A = this chain, B = another copy of it.
């Protein structure tokens, strides 16, 4: 068997972002953590961590992390069968898109986390990048818009998040006085989540515009809405973030105006998880599938 004390040191260094913090979390000295990492590296014959540009696992280190995470999942099943086993709590690392986390995700897994005593480590990735992190062994599961499972994993459809373009009333009056013309799109600043975000391009293509457009980059779901409200640009906001119902951090009514009622951009969401994640992962998956049916739109 592998020496899991060494793997635990690696997990904790990566999770806390430093040797000193890892030591605090594990109740060890910084140098004890450092020795465990060195021992792991000497057994492996290669480094598991790089320090530049910042502290992170090497490809070999990531493979170890992925393995350790699957072992932790299986241990969780075992502890369920043998409750007398120690009660230390592992965190399940999941990649998901920011807009899910900002809207339906909490409601989807809140009760499950409470019942199971599950702690989550949520990593925000644009829909298409999360899957790469899963392939690299960095996360145990991934919520994203791809329906192509990675080798060794399963993939199920959860539902659809429809998006529309919103902007402040004054912004529309200023930048689109003659409607959604090509010239207006060339001048009007958009708000884009990040370099991998293609929602804006898809919206513009559906409006018949294929040229360049100016944009702000804003990697925050709530910041997105705030910038739109401040008149800085127009942005693609999911339907479930707009409205005035009790369970939504609602955008105040009337502040934002729909840029093009006729155009909706769909983001279908899929849940990817390792086939050998064990019984616990199967139950989590059933919970999420149920929540998807209840809280998302059907995939068109």
Contact = CB atoms under 8 A, between A and B. Distances in A.
Count of this chain's copies in the oligomeric assembly: 2
B249 A226 contact: yes
A149 interface: no
A239 interface: no
A197 to B, nearest CB: 10
- Measured as residues with beta carbon below 8 angstroms from the partner, the interface class of chain A is 35 or more
Given A16-B195, A189-B119, A231-B110, A101 B226 contact: yes
Interface stretch (A41-49, A65-73, A212-220, A280-288): A212-220
A229 to B, nearest CB: 6
Contacts of A216: 91, 113, 119-122
Interface stretch (A28-36, A51-59, A76-84, A154-162): A51-59
A204 interface: no
Interface in A227-243: 227, 229-232
B53 A53 contact: no
B119 A230 contact: no
A256 to B, nearest CB: 12
A124 B215 contact: no
Contacts of A25: 212
A112 to B, nearest CB: 10
- Could you tell me the dominant secondary structure of chain A's interface residues? mixed
Interface string A99-141: 0011101110111011000011111100000000000100000
Given A102-B223, A119-B214, A226-B102, A249 B251 contact: yes
A4 B123 CA distance: 36
Nearest to A245: B252
Given A52-B59, A250-B249, A122 B232 contact: no
A252 B246 CA distance: 7
A276 interface: no
A17 interface: yes
Contacts of A103: 226
Contacts of A174: 114
A21 interface: yes
A278 B93 CA distance: 44
Contacts of A279: none
B227 A119 contact: no
A14 to B, nearest CB: 9
A221 interface: yes
Contacts of A111: 230-231
A110 B215 CA distance: 14
A116 B229 CA distance: 18
A275 interface: no
Contacts of A122: 216-220, 223
Contacts of A214: 89, 119
Name the 4 nearest CB pairs between A and B, nearest first.
A110-B230, A106-B226, A106-B230, A101-B223
